Amino acid sequence: MSSALESRIGSPWRKPNFIHSPVLRWGLLAITLVYLFFAFNSIDVNWTRVSEGLVRGWKFVKAFASPDFVSRGTDIYDGMVESIIMAVTSTVVGIIISIPIGLGAARNIAPLPVYLICRGIIALSRALNEIIVAILMVAIFGFGPLAGFITLSFATIGFLAKLLAENIEDMDKVQAEAVKSTGASWLQWVNYGVQPQVIPRLIGLSIYRLDINFRESAVLGLVGAGGIGATLNTSFDRYEYDTTAAILLIIIAVVMALEYLSGIIRAKVQ
């Protein structure tokens, strides 16, 4: 002990290393470097194509300075309305379905078989990307906003039910027990013991999900599931960058507005 102290006296303080074992530290660094080397080598960039494209890219950036809201005005308007409609309906339906599934996926209130089934549904919904689900839904239900609506509802279930279940698992047991000790039935217990504890966060999350659903609905159009994405894709394919810029600016504005709104509502509820 004293010799360790002796040797330290006089030498300046050095920041302790993040990983203590030197073998692990250098080993991890070496593995990272080797990986980065191979990863970068597997990306082949066609530089002549890039330099040609940069001209077009610059044109696109310039289009943001003069976005054209007017010449495709009605298309943009229809697309935006459809996107908002899809976002609203799918959020509502998603919430309604995710509440029972969220209750079922909370280990402290659901029996094991129900728990496993509900967790399975959540895992499936979270694992499948919205676009992939949308492709399948378009194949099954045909083109249009219905496919997008089903896709977004399905995605909402996985998101909300998981967070709701985690919320219920973290809840304060005392209140729920107090309600139970009055002789309440299961439904009364959930309604008076559990629901008041999780509802503020559920409202916050629902508004957050509305925001996500709107953002997602903007891309579902790329695969034919309705919304502004179809308009965006068309304008892009026709090299009408000023219209594209206008659509992107509107999307950013709506997302900002929704975020601001959700901030106000969440602050009020909690």
Partner 1 sequence: MPVSEPISGKKIWQLRSRNQTLTRWFATFAAVSIFMWCWKQISDVTTWFFVWDAPRIAADIGGRAMPPRWSYISELWEPIWDTFNMATLGTIFALIMAVPIAFLAARNTTPSTLFVRPIALLIIVSTRSINSLIWALLLVAIIGPGVAAGLMAISIRSIGFCAKLLYEAIEEIDTSQVEAITATGASRWQVMVYGIVPQIMPAFAGISVFRWDINIRESTVLGLVGAGGIGLQLQSSLNTLAWPQVTLILLVILVAVIAGEWISAKVRGAII
Contact set with partner 1 (CB under 8 A): 35-36, 39-40, 42-46, 49-50, 53-54, 56-57, 60, 81-82, 85-86, 88-89, 92, 123, 127-129, 131-132, 135-136, 139-142, 144-146, 149, 215-216, 218-219, 222-223, 226, 229, 232-233, 236, 248, 251-252, 255-256, 259
- Which CB atom, from 109 or from 138, has the smaller least distance to partner 1? 138
- Shortest distance, position 258 Cβ to partner 1, whole Å: 10
In angstroms, rounded to a whole number, what is the distance separating the alpha carbons of residues 178 and 167? 19
In angstroms, rounded to a whole number, what is the distance separating the alpha carbons of residues 163 and 104? 12
- What six digits make up the tokens of 15? 């920041």
- Shortest distance, position 116 Cβ to partner 1, whole Å: 16
Alpha carbon of residue 90 to chain centroid: 14
- Which CB atom, from 1 or from 43, has the smaller least distance to partner 1? 43
Beta-carbon contacts of residue 28 (< 8 Å; ≥ 6 apart): 19
- Shortest distance, position 88 Cβ to partner 1, whole Å: 5
- Which CB atom, from 118 or from 219, has the smaller least distance to partner 1? 219
Indicate if the alpha-carbon torsion angle 217, 218, 220, 221 is positive or negative.
Answer: positive
Beta-carbon contacts of residue 197 (< 8 Å; ≥ 6 apart): 171, 172, 175, 176
The torsion angle over the Cα atoms of residues 180, 183, 187 and 193, rounded to 10 degrees, is: -30
- Shortest distance, position 120 Cβ to partner 1, whole Å: 12
- Shortest distance, position 111 Cβ to partner 1, whole Å: 25
**What residue type is 124 in one-letter code?**
L
In contact, 225 and 145? CB cutoff 8 Å: yes
- Which CB atom, from 61 or from 177, has the smaller least distance to partner 1? 61
- Which CB atom, from 115 or from 236, has the smaller least distance to partner 1? 236
- Shortest distance, position 1 Cβ to partner 1, whole Å: 27
- Which CB atom, from 109 or from 152, has the smaller least distance to partner 1? 152
Q: Count Cα neighbours of 117 within 13 Å in the Cβ-side half-sphere.
A: 8
In angstroms, rounded to a whole number, what is the distance separating the alpha carbons of residues 91 and 250? 21
